[in-house]
Copies of this chain bind each other. A is one copy, B any other.
Amino acid sequence: MTESELRAADGRVPGRRGRATRSRLLECTAEMLATTSLRDLKVIDIAREASTSPATFYQYFPDVESAILVLAEEMAVSTNALAQHVRAANWKGKGGYESALALTDRFIEFWEQYRPVLRVVDLATGEGDRRFNQIRSRMLNEVTVALSDAVRLAQPKPRGDEPLDPMATAGVLVAMLANVASHRYGFEFWGIRTGDARRSMAHLIYWGVTGQRPPV
């Protein structure tokens, strides 16, 4: 286990050239996923697209899902940017509302960038695939925890009964962001303008985090 070296299917340790081919295959997988359903994404096509042969694909990945899993892991790593953004944000007063708007934008950008991979992650998660499920959990967990810290700090002391659970509130807000981001098209279809959805989200985030009415 000490050696977590990359290995080709037949046990070879890939050199420069091999690794280049492998990442070309990953790129092509990502590209094709943008225009093709997982169901219709065939090893042969990916290989052709990467101007190589199916046999080569199998040298690096046991199947298409495994290649996407690698892409998903790469994506998961880059969520820490979102989390850092949340941690760096200021949640007081007008600045807080700006932070909420900015977070909304970042989320939507992120989703846009990884839309095809996210599609598969969601699909596989829904079907009970453990590996994708873990990636999904891990990747959203970091942002959610960061946001829950913000909630914990910004929330006023409970006036009445028991306060809300910060992690629950953060989780719900992240769920909101995630779903709006992934169904933007549906919003437009209903005649909701992106700007309006953005402001509604920012309001809800501000409410959720601070417990206060936003300074419009």
A residues with CB within 8 A of B: 37-39, 119, 122-123, 125-127, 133, 136-137, 140-141, 144, 158-161, 164-165, 167-169, 171-173, 175-176, 178-180, 182-183, 186-187, 189-193, 196-197, 199-201, 203-204, 207-208, 211, 213, 215-216
A161's closest neighbor in chain B, by CB? Answer: B216
A203/B119 in contact, CB under 8 A: no
A172/B165 in contact, CB under 8 A: no
A198's closest neighbor in chain B, by CB? Answer: B168
B136/A199 in contact, CB under 8 A: no
Cβ contacts under 8 Å, A122 to chain B: 122-123, 126
Q: List 18 A-B contacts (CB under 8 A).
A: A119-B127, A122-B122, A133-B186, A136-B186, A137-B186, A137-B190, A140-B186, A160-B215, A165-B193, A168-B187, A168-B196, A175-B180, A178-B179, A179-B179, A203-B207, A204-B207, A204-B208, A207-B208
The number of times this chain is found in the oligomer is 2
Main secondary structure of the interface of A (DSSP, over half): helix
A172/B164 in contact, CB under 8 A: no
Q: Given A172-B197, A204-B208, A167 and B190 touching (CB < 8 A)? A: yes
Partner of A168, one of B141, B159, B169, B193: B193
Q: Measured between alpha carbons, how far is A133 from B184 in the docked complex, in Å? A: 12
Cβ contacts under 8 Å, A164 to chain B: 196, 199-200, 203
Partner of A144, one of B39, B190, B193, B211: B190
Partner of A200, one of B123, B140, B165, B182: B165
A199/B168 in contact, CB under 8 A: yes
